[in-house]
Structure 1
Amino acid sequence: MSLTVLTSAYGHRLRSLCRLQRIQGHMMSSRVEPGVLLEKVGSAGVITINRPKVLNALDMTMVRQIYPQLKKWDNDDEIDIVIIKGAGGKAFCAGGDIRAVTEAGKAGDPLAEDFFREEYILNNAIGERYKKPYIALIEGITMGGGVGLSVHGRFRVATEKTLFAMPETAIGLFPDVGGGFFLPRLRGKLGMFLALTGFRLKGRDVQRAGVATHFVERKKIPELEKELVGLKSPSAEDVCRVLDSYQQQSSLDSDKPFVLEEHMSAIDRLFSSSSVEGIVQNLEADGSEFASKQAETLSRMSPTSLKITHKQLQAGATMSLQDVLVMEYRLSQACMRGCDFYEGVRAVLVDKDHSPKWNPSTLEEVTQQTVDQCFSSLGEKDLTF
């Protein structure tokens, strides 16, 4: 056998071995780094969202790990509280795994139904049903699915690194995961403003808006967590006292006013119209720099999403969380049947040209009938708990 053939054969085997090692390495790393860490620490159940490389985006596997564990802990006499946090420091959870849902929706894969269904069932379990104090440490980016994992729990702790937004109208969706429940319950028309514009709140402003219950400086979080897991048979009031004391020790940015304070009366006035067209007319007629900026923002959003969101929040203001989630599941499936969601994801997340071609392209073209159809029952496919 010639040296050339020997070398070629050796090279082929070496490449095969390297490829096998890469595959094994990937399998090992996926075993070593699960998407969610579920631990018992002291008398606390601790959930760590553990996908820092993708800003802790929530996928179906994670939902299916968290939900049964929450149910189990709720009935475990050795668990007094539940703490949920994100790994990596950059994000608590930046949202759901939208790309996977998009691909599934295009292919008619059941994931587009199952993900929303199971995510909303988890949101409901955290909210109306959970007996034990649930504490979300929302450090870093907290959007979409991350809001669903936190905002319905009894305690939400923001730090100076928290960045909250519900930016769904920019991708042809709507502020789901119970957005129709908590947003209209914020003061005045703040929720409607946040829902339609996707405005970002940072740090202490997340608490001032009412999205977080407490603000604690980042450097104090490890100490706070240690104290919480060390509590013996705490009541919700005991947990609240600990959080209050850490908030009192956190003076960072306490002298700054709420970022939207000077605009609150304008927001209440301009965003109180019974239609999105009315809101846009209000903004354009107002003429202030603030109003003009919001009008420009709304002009970039999906017209269909804006109208769905407006009706969602109006209806959700008087509904239970459970009923809101049933409504939102219907809306999620309407978005899967439509075209704006796929176009929005393409423009914002895939091609990143930020130039979506919405269809219909204007508010006037989105008929009331189209909007109402999005809210109609799915029959036996409706969300049930």
Structure 2
Amino acid sequence: MASSLPRSVCLLSIGRTSIRQRPIMPLKARISQGALPARGYAVKALESYQENKTSDPDGVLREDDPDDILFTKKFGLRSLELNRPKKLNSLNGSMARKLVLRLKELSKSDLAQVVVIKGAGRAFCAGGDVVALADWNAKGEPVLSDDYFALEYKLDHLLATYNKPLIAYQDGITMGGGVGLSIHAPFRIATENTVFAMPETTIGFFPEVGATFFLPRMDGELGTYLALTSEQLRGVDVFYHGIATHYIHSSTLPTLSERLSELRFKDYATPNERFAIIASTIAEYDSGLPSTRPAITGAIRQAIDHCFSASTPLEILSQLEKTREATADESIKAWADKTIATIRERSPIGVAVTLRALRLGKSWNIAQAFRNELEISRVFMRHGDFTEGVNARLVQRSKTRPNWSPNTLEGVKADDVDAFFAGIDRDTLTFYTSGEGTKYTEYPHAWLGLPTDQEIEVRLLEGKSGSEIVAEFMKQKNGKVGVREKVEEVVERLRPAKG
């Protein structure tokens, strides 16, 4: 990825034009000089939030555009369209509030059978309004950023635990906060226009919106790789790697919506029975896949799983250097060099905190993930790297590396990282839905996507042939497009390692 974030794929809204500049003091220095209490920066930040939070945290963004979310209905279909195309549908508080209110209404409606969330223009949603957040932080008002994140994560949790069939059209740029609005839906449709990324370490932040839940559950170490490098997945690769559950051409989405509006479910149908009907309906619009393999495959994919399984960022860099030295393959050498340079370009504290959060997130349930991300986000809002990164990348559009603090991965100390996790495991976020079903540790609708690497590997270890595994999953997935290609790619990649 280029050293500066491209205009077309930033995190984003860049509607604000400036951020008040203030000298940025390193976190550890602020603690030592008494600006922050030595007993725990994150704990104090939490107490400050609880004492000073607004009386209406869900109304933190005062501006309100009545048309930033468009609502339409036809028969049993209800559509929610993000409508800020000039800002690539970047999510703000006004949009989040409207989505929450409408989703809560629809959850109680007997007439609403299927809910679709989509974006206007060339983006689904390119992220959150991080420039506004950085502006508040620079003005000494990080509590407003805290309130924004609380609202966003409550919305994302509502989507992740929704009681109606929910479909996200990931048609176009789907990054950061836009991933949070789509990744937790049972049905996620990618098209040839889809561009996925979690670019938070580029701006001195960490992947959240439930990323600590979904990234560690991706195949192998792909989630770790995408999080630390901000690498993009495009088109059908978003489907192959499980970010999407289906892939169809964008031109068929309007017709699919018409077809979905005609669906009727029996009153006694179970959620899985309803999901199966929707899956078969989407399958009617399959037009084949543009490639039989993802772009990340073979030796590079093996190198990702090997290098990014390390415990610390410096160990990952060491593994990348060893991989570069051990291979004669020039493409692997070039990939390793690029990846090392990319990680070195990112916020060191952002990279270190991200890796810790992903490792811990493997054991978090969906509710814990959002609650813990909120605590970590609060610390970032009071750390200089976030304001520095947003100002450099999204406001000034600088092509030079931001002035991170600390400025190298070698300079990141364990205490620096620990400070971001001092406030986790607190029950400080009240969701719109509750109960044991809202605290799952694996997506209950994961069966709608392609088989995972792990599921395929189990069959290989049982001694089954590639054709046998293909046949088994084709039957299990009702002939789903992409199953054959996914199984064959995994078998090709893993069988040599199994002897």
If the TM-score is normalised by the length of the shorter chain, which range does it land in? 0.7 to 0.9
Whole-Å separation in 2 of the counterparts to 1:309 and 1:324: 13
- Secondary structure of the corresponding residue to residue 246 of structure 1: coil
- Is 1:370 the counterpart of 2:412? The answer is no
Corresponding position of 1:200: 232
In the TM superposition, what is the alpha-carbon distance from 1:40 to its structure 2 partner? Answer: 2.2
2:297 to 248, 261, 282: 261
C-alpha distance 32-198 of structure 1, shift in aligned 2 (>3 A): closer
Instruction: Look up the equivalent residue of 1:111 and give its one-letter code.
Output: L
C-alpha offsets along residues 75-133 of structure 1, whole Å, 9 cap, x if unaligned?
Answer: 11111111000011x10000001111111122233321111000000010110x21111
Alignment of 1:1-385 (within 5 A): 34-88=67-121, 90-109=122-141, 110-127=143-160, 129-233=161-265, 235-247=274-286, 250-255=287-292, 257-262=293-298, 263-287=300-324, 288-355=333-400, 356-377=402-423, 382-385=428-431
Is the CA contact 2:72–2:79 (under 8 Å) kept in the aligned structure 1? yes
Aligned partners of 2:168 and 2:185 also within 8 Å: yes
Q: How far, CA to CA, are the matches of 2:425 and 2:321 in structure 1?
A: 41
| 1:33 CA drift (Å) | 6.3
Query: Per-residue deviation at 1:245?
Result: 2.7
Residues 371 and 427 in structure 2, CA contact (< 8 A), matched pair in contact too: no
Deviations 1:135-190 (A, max 9, x none): 00011100001000000010100000000000110000111100000011110000
User: What one-letter code is carried by the residue in structure 2 that aligns with 1:166?
Assistant: M
Pairwise CA distance, 1:230: 1.6
Letter paired with 2:409: L
Offset at residue 285 of structure 1 (A) = 2.0
Distance 1:125 1:158, change over 3 A: same
Equivalent-residue separation in structure 2 for 1:43 and 1:367 (angstroms): 55
Distance 1:180 1:143 in 2: 15
CA offsets 1:318-337 (integer angstroms, 9 cap, x no match): 21111011111111111101
Q: Is the 8 A contact 1:144 1:175 kept in 2?
A: yes
Contact 1:157–1:212 at 8 Å: present in 2 too? yes
Select the structure that is richer in helix: 1
| In 2: Cα distance, 1:36 partner to 1:366 partner | 42
Structure 1 residues 181, 338: closer, same or farther in 2, change over 3 A? same
1:135/1:157 contact within 8 Å kept: yes
Q: TM-score, normalised by structure 2?
A: 0.68
Q: Which residue of 2 aligns with 1:15?
A: none
In structure 1, how many angstroms separate the alpha carbons of the residues matched to 2:343 and 2:425? 33
Counterparts of 1:231 and 1:379, CA distance in 2: 42
CA deviation vs aligned residue, 1:328-357 (integer Å, no higher than 9, x gap): 111111110100011111111000113211
- Give SS of 2:284's match: helix
Compute the displacement of 1:379 (Å): 9.6
Is the 8 Å Cα contact of residues 330 and 377 (structure 1) preserved in structure 2?
A: yes
Q: Is the 8 A contact 2:70 2:80 kept in 1?
A: yes
1:369 shift after superposition: 1.2
SS in 1 for 2:430: coil
Could you list the runs of 5+ residues in structure 2 that have no partner in the other structure? 1-62, 267-273, 325-332, 432-499
Residues 120, 325 of structure 1: 8 Å contact kept? yes
CA contact (8 A) 1:120 1:177 kept: yes
Alignment partners' CA distance in 1, 2:181 and 2:64: 24
Task: Read off the aligned partner of 1:293 and give its amino acid letter.
Answer: K
Structure 1: how far apart are the matches of 2:100 and 2:241?
28
* Cα pair 1:272 1:279 within 8 Å, conserved: yes
**CA spacing shift, 1:379–1:283, aligned 2, 3 Å:** closer
User: Secondary structure in 2 aligned to 1:335?
Assistant: helix
Aligned to 2:11: none
| TM superposition score normalised by structure 1 | 0.88
How many residues are paired up?
Answer: 351
Distance 1:217 1:94 in 2: 20
Higher relative contact order (CA 8 A, sep 6+): 2
Equivalent residue of 2:91, what SS? coil
**Distance in 1 between residues matched to 2:399 and 2:156, nearest whole Å:** 30
Partner of 2:450: none
1:193-251, CA deviations, whole angstroms, 9 ceiling, x for partnerless residues?
0000001000000000100000001111111111112211271111111122323xx22
Could you list the per-position Cα deviations for residues 22-60 of structure 1 after superposition, in whole angstroms to 9, with x for gaps in the alignment?
A: xxxxxxxx9986111122222122100000000000000
Kindly tell me: are residues 373 and 32 of structure 1, through their superposed partners in 2, closer, same or farther at Cα, counting changes over 3 Å?
A: closer
Aligned-residue Cα RMSD (Å) equals: 1.7
